[in-house]
């Protein structure tokens, strides 16, 4: 199925690693249910490319240094109260400093009323003006968090992403090693599928990666000998999930006789993905090994480590303590 997806992307001119940093303003408006006070003529074509938002108080009084016109501008109680102390002409002049730039939209918070100069400037400069009932701080927090996910840098990698005991497990390995089969067994054991074959990974912060499936193959799994199956239809809605953070990467590889594999887990291993080190491990695949059970145990063990308990370290401490006791005698 990976080669089918790749062919589809190439056909429409996308690169699998092409980073897409924009989101339509119309989607932001729909998701937040903003009230449209004035809709610009190019509303459907406006795209948001910055996850930051701005309160343009300094811009209105003439300080234009470092102003980023790609950001959504938010006018709250402070800004509108400041404008209320002036007459129409002065308010018009102050607001014009915002509207004459290339800002994508202006949002009024707290459901506050605006004067006629706002509508006149919106029409003159063809700018979208929106309104919401939330406070300025609430809106800024929610909007920044939302945009950080929506326009985060991203790559697409060959693998399977599942949620196991609340841990996001990215299973990687060569084609045919058994990634999809392990995912199906995990589904039967009550866990959830996020993506099969192609995993779109977004870097939503300096510490967090979030994975999802491309829309075209979401909730589908390819099994050699059977074909493509719809997990949602066969296993139910509880067996799928749209997104999940990536907490652990498991590399599956064919068992190689004579190769030394980690048996204690004393040394933590990491895989760097988009500049973030993610805990990882290599699991050899061999006839008779139940990979799904191994992944379950790995998920629980990784969760324990993140909570401050490391079984390998605990065993090592016990051994050292026993050696000290025997030395004393």
List the beta strands (DSSP E) in 14-58: 23-24, 35-38, 47-48, 53-54
Q: What angle do CA 108, 112, 118 make, to 5 degrees?
A: 60
Among the listed residues 71, 91, 154, 197, the single catalytic one is 197
Residue 263 falls in the annotated catalytic set: yes
Rounded Cα–Cα distance for residues 130 and 73 (Å) = 10
124 close to 95: Cβ distance less than 8 angstroms? no
326 sits in which H/E element: helix 311-328
Q: What angle do CA 49, 61, 110 make, to 5 degrees?
A: 60
Residue 191 falls in the annotated catalytic set: no
Among the listed residues 20, 55, 158, 232, the single catalytic one is 158
Among the listed residues 71, 131, 179, 251, the single catalytic one is 179
54 close to 74: Cβ distance less than 8 angstroms? yes
Residue 55 falls in the annotated catalytic set: no
280 sits in which H/E element: strand 276-285
Residue 179 falls in the annotated catalytic set: yes
Rounded Cα–Cα distance for residues 112 and 130 (Å) = 11
Residues involved in catalysis: 158, 179, 197, 263
């Amino acid at each position: 199925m990976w080669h089918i997806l790749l062919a589809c992307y190439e056909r429409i001119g996308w690169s699998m690693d092409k980073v897409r940093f924009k989101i339509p303003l119309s989607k932001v408006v729909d998701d937040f249910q903003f009230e449209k006070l004035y809709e610009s003529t190019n509303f459907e074509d406006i795209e948001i490319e910055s996850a930051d938002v701005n309160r343009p108080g300094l811009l209105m009084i003439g300080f234009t240094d470092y102003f980023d016109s790609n950001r959504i501008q938010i006018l709250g109680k402070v800004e509108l109260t400041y404008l209320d102390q002036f007459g129409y002409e002065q308010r018009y002049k102050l607001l014009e400093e915002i509207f004459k730039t290339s800002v994508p939209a202006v949002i009024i918070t707290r459901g506050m009323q605006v004067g006629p100069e706002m509508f006149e400037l919106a029409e003159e400069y063809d700018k979208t003006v929106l309104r919401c009932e939330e406070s300025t701080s609430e809106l800024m927090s929610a909007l920044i968090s939302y945009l950080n996910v929506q326009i985060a840098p991203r790559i697409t990698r060959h693998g399977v992403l599942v949620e196991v005991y609340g841990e996001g497990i990215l299973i990687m390995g060569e084609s045919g090693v058994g990634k999809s089969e392990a995912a199906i067994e995990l589904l039967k054991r009550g866990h959830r599928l996020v993506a099969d074959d192609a995993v779109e990974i977004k870097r939503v912060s300096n510490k967090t990666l979030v994975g999802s499936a491309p829309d075209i193959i979401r909730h589908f799994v390819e099994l050699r000998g059977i074909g493509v199956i719809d997990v949602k239809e066969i296993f139910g809605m509880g067996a799928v999930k749209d997104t999940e953070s990536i907490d652990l990467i498991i590399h599956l590889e064919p068992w190689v006789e004579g190769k030394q594999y980690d048996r204690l887990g004393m040394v933590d291993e990491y895989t760097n993905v988009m500049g973030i080190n993610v805990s990882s491990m290599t699991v050899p695949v061999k006839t008779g090994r139940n990979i799904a059970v191994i992944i379950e145990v790995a998920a629980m063990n990784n969760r324990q480590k993140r909570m401050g308990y490391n079984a390998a370290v605990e065993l090592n401490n016990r051994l050292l303590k026993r050696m000290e006791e025997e030395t004393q005698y």
